[in-house]
Amino acid sequence: MDIINIHSNLYDYTVEFVNDFSGKLMKFDDSTTYIIDKNVYELYKEKFKELDKKKIFFVNAVESEKNMDTVMRIISFFQELGVRKNWSIVCFGGGITQDLTTIASNLFLRNVNWYFFPTTLLSMCDSCIGGKCGINYRHIKNQIGVFYPPKEIFVDTHFLNTLTKDDYINGWGEILKFSLTSDENFYDDLQKEEQYIPCPKIAEYIHRGLFEKKKIIEADEFESDLRRVLNYGHTFGHALEAYTNNRIPHGTAVIWGIDVVNYIAVTENLISEEYYLSIKNLIKNAFITEEIEIAEPNKLFEIIKTDKKVKGNVLSFAMLDKPSHLVVYPMTLDDKLRNLFCQYLEKTHEYYNH
Ligand SMILES: NC(=O)c1ccc[n+]([C@@H]2O[C@H](COP(=O)([O-])OP(=O)(O)OC[C@H]3O[C@@H](n4cnc5c(N)ncnc54)[C@H](O)[C@@H]3O)[C@@H](O)[C@H]2O)c1
Ligand SMILES: [Zn+2]
């Protein structure tokens, strides 16, 4: 597959699809250090056997480790190893390992070049480009961050063979999001797909997802209005994650959030009921096969009110206003919206149980 070029105000960089990542390791000389998700290292040990273990920092990829303590441990590791400005930092892992590497490479010596081999579906189809990172601070997620893209990204989809179903769905959440905001062929193809987890055509969908994200970040690198469409499905999705104490994985939550906000878009006369139901059907067939029951809808709605993007009593939702087109749509968080949300839950209950 071809190479995707990403234009950035800092420097341009590339995403290359490779058949076997170990071939790419040869290009890194002795002046290289590695930051590797320890689960990935264990699973693919054979392929990493040429690497000097003393030069590897192993990441325990759990949210509670995505903090400044770990960043400082990585920086101490660089210092002890004698990493210099002309060295390369090579990262293997998903979004957690990526976020830690982004900030550590940016802060150390005011920046050292880094290279990324994403190993989860989410990091392959979405987070690997854009240069953004978020580090948790005092129990608040992604509070601290920088923009610092890798110099090159290498996608080897063989890594996906060992992902759990939840981690596979985490990537699908973003791919579904991109498919609904891209040309209609992307969504049509997803609808016709026969197997989603695992999906034999996943490389193609990763490629198309990245292409969509590329358009957005190139037009709006530093997160103003346009980039907010990347939040599609995420407002209700994040609230569901919080409501369930993260028992529901991010991808499932985002897909559910897409369904909720689509329902609101129908009631606001932005999209047709037929279009909403066609997406709902895909969601039910492919990703959320059983109803997500919300015992306390009011509690979930209260969480929405604490979203950091709320201004006054108004929250802007990324919403479809026609097929393949998103707008940023402000709504007052009042009883009317709360009732609409409850109505969505009732109708969805019928939909899943008829
Ligand atoms: N920087 C960004 O733009 C951005 C975007 C979205 C999400 N994120 C962040 O990414 C994080 C989520 O990342 P993620 O979903 O990519 O995964 P992750 O890094 O959270 O890893 C999830 C699990 O998968 C394991 N794993 C990784 N690769 C594997 C493989 N090939 N086979 C088997 N297991 C493997 C990890 O060890 C871990 O247990 C969150 O912290 C989120 O905030 C960042
Ligand atoms: Zn997401």
Structure tokens at 56: 């590897």
**Ligand 1 centroid, distance to 122 Cα (angstroms):** 7
Per-residue pLDDT, 223: 57
Domain ranges of the chain: 3-162, 165-353
Largest CA distance in the chain: 65
The residue nearest atom 44 of ligand 1, judged by CA position, is 95
pLDDT tops 90 at residue 219: no
Closest atom of ligand 1 relative to the 38 alpha carbon: 37
How much is the pLDDT for 317?
95
What pairing do the DSSP bridges indicate for beta strands 314-322 and 135-137?
A: unpaired
| pLDDT digit string, tens, across residues 76-118 | 999 999 999 999 999 999 999 999 999 999 999 999 999 999 9
| Torsion sign, CA atoms 206, 207, 209, 210 | positive
Q: What is the separation of C-alpha 346 from the centre of its chain, rounded to a whole number of angstroms?
A: 29
Measured in angstroms, how far is the CA atom of residue 206 from the centroid of ligand 2? 14
**182 falls in which pLDDT band (50, 70, 90)?**
confident
Return phi, psi of residue 11, to 5°: -170, 155
State whether residue 33 is helix, strand or coil. strand
The yes/no answer on whether domain 3-162 falls in CATH 3.40.50.300 is no
In the numeric block, which tokens belong to residue 48?
A: 């990493």
94: Cα within 13 Å, side-chain hemisphere: 21
313-316: long-range contacts at Cβ-Cβ below 8 A with a sequence spacing of 24 or more?
315/235, 316/228
Between the CA of 121 and the centroid of ligand 1 the distance, in Å, is 8
Complete DSSP assignment for 91-136? EEESHHHHHHHHHHHHHGGG---EEEEE-SHHIIIIITSS-B--EE
User: Sorting pLDDT into bands at 50, 70 and 90, what band is 183?
Assistant: confident
Residue by residue, DSSP assigns 218-278 as HH-TT-STGGGGGGTTHHHHHHHHHHTTT-S-HHHHHHHHHHHHHHHHHHTTSS-HHHHHH
- Ligand number nearest CA of 124 is 1
Atom of ligand 1 nearest to the CA of 96: 19
pTM for the whole thing? 0.95
Contact indicator for 252, 40 with CB cutoff of 8 Å: no
* Ligand 2 center–CA 268 separation, angstroms: 25
pLDDT-derived band at 222, boundaries 50, 70, 90 = low
Condensed to tens digits (0 to 9), the pLDDT of residues 281-329 reads: 999 999 999 999 999 999 999 999 998 889 999 999 999 999 988 899 9
User: Look-up: residue for tokens 């830690």?
Assistant: 100
Q: How confident is the model at residue 1, as a pLDDT?
A: 60
The residues lining ligand 1, judged by C-beta closer than 6 Å to any ligand atom, are 37, 39-40, 43, 61, 63, 66, 93-99, 119-120, 122-123, 126-127, 130, 132-134, 142, 159, 162-163, 167, 170
Looking up tokens 């198309």, which residue turns up?
208
Nearest ligand, CA 141: 1
Q: With the CA atoms of 194, 195, 199 and 203 taken in that order, what torsion angle do they form, in degrees rounded to the nearest 10?
A: 10
**CA gap 217, 195 in Å, rounded:** 30
- Which CATH class for the 165-353 domain? mainly alpha
CB atoms within 10 A of CB 275: 18
Report which protein residue has its CA nearest ligand 1's atom 8. 95
Per-residue pLDDT at 225 exceeds 90: no
Which ligand has the minimum distance to the alpha carbon of residue 134?
Answer: 1
Q: Give yes or no for a contact between 310 and 337, defined as CB atoms under 8 angstroms apart.
A: no
Per-residue model confidence as pLDDT tens digits over 136-165: 999 888 999 999 999 999 999 999 999 999
Look-up of token digits 């292409």: 211
CA distance 307 to 243: 13
Confidence of residue 354 (pLDDT cuts 50, 70, 90): confident
